Amino acid sequence: MKSIQIEVNNSNISCATNPNSNGNLPWLWHVTIPILPAFSVEYFTIHEEGVTNISTPHDDISGDKLIIAADYVPSTSSIFIILHYHGIRDYSLLFPWVSNPDLKTRLGQFYQEAEKNFESGAWLSFALMCAAVFEGMLFAKLTPNSTRNTFNFMIQDAFQQNLLNAEQRDIMEKARNLRNLVHGGKYNLPYITRTDAMDIRTTMDKLIKYF
């Protein structure tokens, strides 16, 4: 069983009266999580103001929405949802905001291969596939012209447009530079470390959740 935590802003939560409440749990929260359909979810937990609740038979999943039966309306600016899941149903669904269907499919294939490499500890292969995911995500987000469509330029442009913070920019640069290790004349460059791989994985998964 795996888990992933997602912060959901109030703008992605709507409430309605529960027609099946019978005086109990009078509200239904409709919590929108765009990447939700990608996951094979067994159950989820809700964290709000220090209180944790586990999903019950009264709760449901419909498309990209969690439907949660509750006895109050959420009052905080955001809540945290932890999905407990068995695996990814369709990797392309991790990129719902990518409009080009072929690019979305390819990004899913890149991510799936990256995950396999990560789980087997093949760090360089993992970094190469993460760089491919990063580059494809930036391409979809920026729709660059022909003079600014290289990975290097897109990292710079995404940082200038505040799509990336400095740490994320540096991690992408590291993944981009690690691709050079495949060249025969680059044997003197430092090899990727486990720490590098962990930092790249964390950055990639954060961007997938919130990009």
**What pLDDT, on the 0 to 100 scale, is given for residue 23?**
76
Strands (E), 20-74: 27-32, 39-48, 51-54, 60-62, 65-70
Q: Where in the chain is the domain with CATH 1.20.120?
A: 91-210
Which alpha helices (DSSP H) does the chain contain, by range?
Answer: 101-120, 123-142, 151-160, 166-178, 194-210
Helix axes 151-160, 123-142, angle to 10 degrees: 60
**91-210 — its CATH code?**
1.20.120
- pLDDT for residue 54: 93
User: Percent of the chain beyond pLDDT 90?
Assistant: 88
Alpha-carbon span 124 to 180, nearest angstrom:
11
Q: Which of 72-86, 107-121, 165-179 has the lowest mean pLDDT?
A: 72-86
Q: Which residue has the higher pLDDT, 58 or 135?
A: 135
Q: 15-54: string of b/e by CB count within 10 Å (b at 16+)?
A: eeebeeeeeebebbbebebebbbbbebeebebebeeeeee
CA-based nearest residue to 124, from 11, 200, 63, 72? 200
Angle at 166 between CA 77 and CA 113, to 5 degrees: 85
Q: Who wins on pLDDT, 203 or 50?
A: 203
pTM of the model: 0.92
H/E stretch holding 100 reads none
pLDDT at 75 (0 to 100) = 85
Residue 24 binned pLDDT confidence (cut-offs 50, 70, 90): confident
Structure tokens belonging to residue 167: 């740490």
Contact 3, 82 (CB under 8 A): yes
**Residue 92 CB: number of other CB atoms within 10 A?**
20
**C-alpha pair distances (Å), 162 with each of 34, 165, 168:** 21, 6, 11
Give me the sheet containing 51-54, strands edge to edge: 2-9, 78-88, 39-48, 51-54
Res 51: pLDDT: 83
Q: Specify the pLDDT at position 112.
A: 98
